[in-house]
Amino acid sequence: MYKLNMGNHEYYVPERMMPGITRYIEQGIRPGRFLQAVICNDLHEALSQADDENFTNISAFVSYFYNEAPSGCWGSPEKMEAWIESKQKSPLFTDVCAVVNSLDGMYRSRQKRGKDDVKSVQNQRDRQGMASY
């Protein structure tokens, strides 16, 4: 968790938000609308998208990106898009996408096979005059 002390107040980036920030910075995975607005330096949109906790701690998000994140990954919509594009062209991103697509294909295949198995059992019951459940 990132913390920011300002006078008598402590602000923080909630722990639940850090995975989205990390995925964006390290892998170029587009975050949700609130984080996109923060990254694009659109305070109005960030505040309109924020939940209560993020709204209260908006200054910690700004401080985090200013002090901790690479300068090329935040500050405008153009910088965000260029960051995402540059990360998605990396070999690691391509490898991750290939694994995800492969797993998705295996899952869909199993799902279809499972449906076919159910239909086969139902057809067999129908041929034998048994009620299907």
Rounded mean pLDDT for each run of 10 residues along the chain, 133 residues in total: 90 96 96 98 97 97 97 97 91 67 73 64 68 49
Say how far apart CA 123 and CA 70 lie, in whole Å. Answer: 60
Domain parsing of the chain, residue ranges: 2-87, 90-124
Give the pLDDT confidence score for residue 81 in this predicted structure: 97
Give the pLDDT confidence score for residue 133 in this predicted structure: 47
Calculate ∠ Cα 47-44-76, nearest 5°: 110
Give the pLDDT confidence score for residue 16 in this predicted structure: 96
Give the pLDDT confidence score for residue 106 in this predicted structure: 76
Give the pLDDT confidence score for residue 126 in this predicted structure: 72
CB atoms within 10 A of CB 69: 16
Nearby residues of 126 by Cβ (< 8 Å), 6 or more positions away: 132
